[in-house]
């Protein structure tokens, strides 16, 4: 089962029909607890249980439940997407155990979809939420963060605290798996979009050494990728070196972009097969359909190009 998704908000809703939560900058998962064990599934239904051994003890809380939430890596109380990105792709149990010891993650549980065999999907959000709060999940490794009645105030507070933004939910909304619902609205401060990498450019003045200067990104459309621009910010140091290592074996002889790539971006570019998904922060799209002031956040190994929306909205 895939999680229910939020729609970008044109304005923060107000009134008694809405409640508001912090938008966490991490990895969306469904945590399925049953038969004395917990299994964690990503947005694409990939089993990522082995990557997060510090969450395996969740099964001791209740014998049967299905939680929706976000796994975050907190740094001084603020989620770090970069730290989480290291954990996305871990499949070796020993490495996962070492990372869990060095920098354990926290599951922020914000919805309850099943409890003791009872399916809660069709119930109102307010009913599901009340039941979730009665579970009293409150440890350093898993917790239920609060909700708020004043969306604009929470939005302002999260901006001041350096958090990603807020999600607003109608109190009467059912849970519809896999649907981007108008009853859940997200209001990020600096929008995060998921994009597909279609090429890369070397660093200017690299003195012969192959260093990654920028990636060329887009979103899927009929027949290819719709070009969204060049992303260079956020690729310095180890991040760029690691990404170049991932991109090198994907080299292709032709551009995967359906729309034209400007000459200043295409010159010297190495095209790649469009299989890697990344998250990019930006200030939205320009009138030419390009990302404004984009910054690379990290690869999304929990997503495939088929999960990326053509309207370039992230989750």
b (16+ CB within 10 A) / e for 85-104: bbbbebeeeeebeebbeebe
List the one residue out of 204, 225, 195 whose CA is nearest residue 268: 204
Q: How far is CA 227 from each of CA 161, 173, 215, 259, 290, rounded to the nearest angstrom?
A: 33, 35, 11, 6, 8
Helix, strand, coil percentages, rounded to 5, for the chain:
20, 35, 40
Q: Which residues are CB-neighbours of 252 under 8 A, at least 6 positions away? A: 271, 272, 273
Contact, 107 vs 51, CB < 8 A? no
Cα–Cα dist 133/144, whole Å: 7
Residue whose token pair is 């995967």: 256
201: phi then psi, degrees, rounded to nearest 5: -120, 145
Q: How far is CA 315 from the centre of its chain?
A: 6
> Could you tell me the end-to-end alpha-carbon distance of the chain, in angstroms, rounded to an integer?
17
Q: Which residues are CB-neighbours of 256 under 8 A, at least 6 positions away? A: 198, 199, 218, 224, 225, 271, 272, 273, 274
List the one residue out of 96, 46, 19, 26 whose CA is nearest residue 304: 46
Catalytic residue among 23, 169, 186, 297: 23
Angle at 307 between CA 302 and CA 311, to 5 degrees: 130
Q: Which residues are CB-neighbours of 233 under 8 A, at least 6 positions away? A: 293, 294, 295, 296
Q: Is 23 a catalytic residue?
A: yes
The catalytic site residues sit at: 23
């Amino acid at each position: 089962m895939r999680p229910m998704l939020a729609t970008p908000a044109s304005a923060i809703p107000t009134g008694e029909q809405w409640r508001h939560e912090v938008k966490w900058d991490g990895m969306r998962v469904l945590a399925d607890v049953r038969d004395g064990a917990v299994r964690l599934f990503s947005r694409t239904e990939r089993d990522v249980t082995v990557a997060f051994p510090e969450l395996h003890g969740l099964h001791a809380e209740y014998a049967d439940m299905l939680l929706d939430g976000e796994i975050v890596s907190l740094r001084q109380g603020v989620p770090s997407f970069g730290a989480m990105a290291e954990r996305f792709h871990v499949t070796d149990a020993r490495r996962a155990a070492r990372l869990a010891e060095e920098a354990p993650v926290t599951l922020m549980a914000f919805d309850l979809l099943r409890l003791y065999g009872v399916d809660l999907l069709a119930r109102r959000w307010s009913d599901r939420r009340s039941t979730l709060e009665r579970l009293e999940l409150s440890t350093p490794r898993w917790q239920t963060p609060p909700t708020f009645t004043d969306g604009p105030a929470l939005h302002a507070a999260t901006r001041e605290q350096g958090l990603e933004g807020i999600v607003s939910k109608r109190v009467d909304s059912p849970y519809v798996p896999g649907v981007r619902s108008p009853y859940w609205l997200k209001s990020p401060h600096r929008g995060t979009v998921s994009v597909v990498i279609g090429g890369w450019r070397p660093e200017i003045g690299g003195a012969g050494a192959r260093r990654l200067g920028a990636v060329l990104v887009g979103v899927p459309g009929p027949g290819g990728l719709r070009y969204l621009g060049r992303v260079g910010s956020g690729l310095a140091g180890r991040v760029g070196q690691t990404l170049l290592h991932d991109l090198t074996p994907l080299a292709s002889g032709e551009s995967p972009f359906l729309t034209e790539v400007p000459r200043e971006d295409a010159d010297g570019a190495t095209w790649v097969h469009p299989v890697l998904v990344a998250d990019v922060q930006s200030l939205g799209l320009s009138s030419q359909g390009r990302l404004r002031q984009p910054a690379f956040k990290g690869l999304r190994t929990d997503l495939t190009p088929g999960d990326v929306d053509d309207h370039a909205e992230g989750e």
